[in-house]
Amino acid sequence: MTELNEKTDIKSLTREELTAQIKDMGVPAFRAAQIYQWLHEKQAVSFHEMTNLPSELRGQLEEKYALVVLRPVDVKISAIDGTRKYLFGLPDGNVIESVLMKYKHGNSVCISSQAGCRMGCRFCASAIGGLARSLRTSEMLEQVYRIQKDIGERISNVVMMGSGEPLDNYDNTLRFIHMVTDEWGLNISQRSITVSTCGLVPEMRRLAEEKLQITLALSLHAPDDETRRKLMPVANKYSLKEVLEACHMYFETTGRRVTFEYSLVRGVNDNLEEAKALVRLIRDQHGHVNLIPVNPVREREFVQSSAGAVTAFKNYLEKNGINVTIRREMGRDIQGACGQLRRSYLEEKERENAGLCAY
């Protein structure tokens, strides 16, 4: 999807595509390189800024292309760890959220791939209102660009763990990875990019075939199909056997270890029986488990596991040879969990609208 109000979305064009279009306009190819750098390296917000282009060319670009720029609607900064949660407005009025996390090894941005989500995971705030629409590549890139501009520091990692299912927006996700790693753009290393999926098997296999060096994270959350189906509707479509075969294929094809995300929910998937079943399930995978104490979402009844249960679960996995980390909770004071900030914004809008109707 590169059309926007009859104009082409220039920021979603790869360097090769942009070069071809610029050549077709009868403009020398080196101009395409300059434009690409303005868009993706310097993150210009208007054609006007592109001062090393002739003004006639800037006018032509203005005529032919739309320049997608996200509008910051809100930003919340955690007093605990400096995590920043951004709410961005899209050109059509939809809103999405992105998170900046500062680590010792660099700045990491968690981006959304869709406005809302249609996967329906029971514990996830993004699922509540369903899917509004998939994001364009430019809208994914812009989340990283606006945050880098805002903090004035380089972003070195991108995780696709915000709202939406990246593999349900496959083509734009792939294009995003291609462009965010372009040496004339942010030049982020493929190894510093993580795509998280709830387990769409055909797309996982397709992604493996792309032979990228990115990390694939699978939202596992349960060691058996029955429990998984209680948490994630997608488990009705693909069995754990199929999903884990796809993970194995990803490792075999790319040499990259898969991360298994496991959100611990009290009384649902956090006892030692489940830890045992998990060990049996993934023992032969060259993976690594990331335990996440479930982040309570107001609309959902799930309760976080106790600290003791989390540690016991972790210790059991470790003792049995599984590589495991507990995800540090970041930005708890600023609605850090997926989709929460967007959700409260939408609720506020609904309340405002309801208020207007009452008068």
Enumerate binding residues for ligand SAH (CB under 6 A): 119, 121, 123-124, 161, 165, 196-198, 219, 261, 263, 292, 294-295, 297, 337-338
* Beta carbon nearer to ligand SAH, 119 or 309: 119
Q: Give the tokens for residue 114.
A: 């869709």
CB of 41 to ligand SAH, least distance (A): 28
* Beta carbon nearer to ligand SAH, 181 or 295: 295
* Beta carbon nearer to ligand SAH, 162 or 185: 162
* Beta carbon nearer to ligand SAH, 50 or 264: 264
CB of 263 to ligand SAH, least distance (A): 4
CB of 95 to ligand SAH, least distance (A): 17
User: Is 97 known to be catalytic?
Assistant: yes
CB of 93 to ligand SAH, least distance (A): 23
User: Is 110 known to be catalytic?
Assistant: no
CB of 36 to ligand SAH, least distance (A): 29
* Beta carbon nearer to ligand SAH, 292 or 341: 292
CB of 229 to ligand SAH, least distance (A): 14
Give 324's strand partners. Answer: 289
- Selected catalytic residue, list 121, 124, 198, 338: 338
Are 155 and 120 in contact by the 8 Å Cβ rule? The answer is no
Listed residue (193, 199, 208) closest to 168, CA to CA: 199
Between strands 3-4 and 7-9, the pairing is antiparallel
- Selected catalytic residue, list 97, 139, 165, 261: 97
Angle between helices 272-282 and 240-254 (to 10 degrees): 50
Give the catalytic positions in this structure: 97, 338
